[in-house]
Structure 1
Amino acid sequence: MTSSRRIALWGGIAYLVTFAAAIPALPLLEPVTDHPDYVLGAGSDNRVVLGGLLEVVAALAGVATAVILYPVIRRVSRTCALGFLSSRVVEAGILIAGAISVLTVVTLRQDLGDDAPAGLVTVAQALIDVREWTFLLGPGLFPAINAGFLGIALYRAGLVPRILPLVGFVGAPFLVGKTLAVAFGAFDELSTAAVLLALPIAAWELGLGLWLTVKGFRPPRLSTNPDH
């Protein structure tokens, strides 16, 4: 297996891990995210902790996509390679902060138990609100930035079918629009409209992960200047 094929394989697997970890994390966290009074009584602590850890795994897998693909993307554009890596790192930090806020609710419940004051629900709600904003600004904004940096490099060099980055380019403004709409209260994060607007960017990332895993990179179609 060539170095380029190995990079594509592991980069694709890292993309798929982000989906495999992030999707089941949402229902696992619902006992806390949907019920602030969780902090006052018995709850499914192990379930919530697993959900929080899966969000951390998804965040780290996102960073891994940029780290693994960096040597190939750098040959096309150093700016795109560094931009993609930086964006992934910031996105991961936001996601991990959200996971920590939910796990803190679990710790508060365990530490105080039945003796917890009723006012603790306000604290739990504040932590849940933090998680809602991190979820909105992390997966709701940075995939659009990632699509810009990575998509430009892949499209310029023809390293994957150009329909893939084109889907990312189309999906990026839809995702940003969805995030702004949710932030200003036009509709809910998990509403049908929000899900539909997020589908193109999800298709871009899932399609890229599958292509890199199964097919790998295509030979570059043109000479590139890595200084730009």
Structure 2
Amino acid sequence: MTTDKKIRLAGLLILSGMCSGIFSVAPAVDSKTYLTAAAQNSNGVLLAAVFQFIMSLTYMGVAILLYPEIKRFNRSLSIGFLGFRILAAALSIIGTTLLLAVLALSEAYLQNPSQGSVGPGLLGNVLKASRDYVNHVFMVLVLCTGNYLCYLLLYRSKLIPQWLSLWGMVGAFLAVSASILFLFRQVDVITYGYLALNVPTAIHELVLGIWLIVKGFNKSDLQPAAPSYTPLSSFRSFFY
């Protein structure tokens, strides 16, 4: 696959990840009556889980496609970007598993409601809180750290306009701020404050995805001077 095709495919995956993230929302699980609503809307919850899993794959796909093209400009930053993206994808999959666990609990409760709601409610609250912390705190912190490293590399290499890279770094900082506020219970997920802090990142992802599809990387900067080193093995040559 040529460099241009890789970059454009990465842009397409960025847009696909955005769409998947939108459809990964599960209102039934986020509602106060999730203990019954999740099972009553099981198809919607399952669909949300599928889209969150697809979103996880796009996280890794973008990094895998971009890594061979950006590692020539800065090995450390590109490795950090790849590593944090893989970790973010793993955390997203954990969040998907927790979502399905809430659904399974809800279905079990509806099948045997006579057992009372104290036990299932307590377990459900733990699963929901764990899912929120994984999805909206730890996964975001890891993802934004990797994104910041990538945008810093792109800013220095000028593979995309510097204003676009700078926008991405600022957006990552704001998204991290929203997650920290959520961690300390200063804001909730479905609030204007939390959403406002994440809007710059959402718009940036849209612009970046379209830019990579239409423009790709700056071709005048795609061929940096070759580094003087000798790979010791195929594994090391992949990362270095």
TM-score where L is the length of structure 1: 0.89
Instruction: Tell me the distance in 1 between the aligned counterparts of 2:217 and 2:37.
Output: 52
- Worse-matched range after superposition: 135-144 or 162-171: 135-144
Contact 1:40-1:114 within 8 A present in 2 as well: no
Contact 2:29-2:38 within 8 A present in 1 as well: no
Q: Does 1:113 align with 2:110?
A: yes
Q: Does 1:34 align with 2:31?
A: yes
Distance of aligned partners of 1:17 and 1:80 in 2 relative to their CA distance in 1, 3 Å threshold: same
Deviations 1:164-200 (A, max 9, x none): 1110122222222222112112222221121121122
Q: What amino acid does structure 2 have at the position aligned with 1:48?
A: V
In the other structure, the counterpart of 1:204 is 204
Q: What amino acid does structure 2 have at the position aligned with 1:10?
A: L
Distance apart, 1:40 and its partner CA: 8.3
Instruction: Tell me the distance in 2 between the aligned counterparts of 1:42 and 1:64.
Output: 32
1:32-111 equivalence runs, <5 A: 32-35=29-32, 37-39=34-36, 42-111=39-108
1:101-180 equivalence runs, <5 A: 101-111=98-108, 113-116=110-113, 117=115, 118=117, 119-138=119-138, 140-180=140-180
In the other structure, the counterpart of 1:4 is 3
RMSD: 2.3
Distance apart, 1:86 and its partner CA: 0.8
Q: What amino acid does structure 1 have at the position aligned with 2:98?
A: S
Contact 1:165-1:204 within 8 A present in 2 as well: no
Instruction: Tell me the distance in 2 between the aligned counterparts of 1:168 and 1:37.
Output: 35
Distance of aligned partners of 1:39 and 1:157 in 2 relative to their CA distance in 1, 3 Å threshold: same
Give every structure 1 segment of 4 or more consecutive aligned residues whose post-TM-superposition deviation is greater than 3 Å: 39-42, 109-113, 220-228
Distance apart, 1:38 and its partner CA: 2.5
Matched residue SS, 2:71: helix
Structure number with bigger Rg = 2
Matched residue SS, 1:141: helix
Distance of aligned partners of 1:18 and 1:224 in 2 relative to their CA distance in 1, 3 Å threshold: farther
Distance apart, 1:133 and its partner CA: 0.5
Distance apart, 1:201 and its partner CA: 2.2
Sequence identity (%): 26
Contact 1:81-1:149 within 8 A present in 2 as well: yes
Instruction: Tell me the distance in 2 between the aligned counterparts of 1:22 and 1:144.
Output: 15
- Worse-matched range after superposition: 116-125 or 105-114: 105-114
Unmatched tracts of structure 2, length 5 or more: 230-239
Contact 1:15-1:61 within 8 A present in 2 as well: yes
Distance apart, 1:212 and its partner CA: 0.7
Instruction: Tell me the distance in 1 between the aligned counterparts of 2:101 and 2:225.
Output: 48
TM-score where L is the length of structure 2: 0.84
Distance of aligned partners of 1:170 and 1:8 in 2 relative to their CA distance in 1, 3 Å threshold: same
Q: Does 1:21 align with 2:11?
A: no
Instruction: Tell me the distance in 1 between the aligned counterparts of 2:220 and 2:31.
Output: 48
Unmatched tracts of structure 1, length 5 or more: none
Distance apart, 1:62 and its partner CA: 0.8
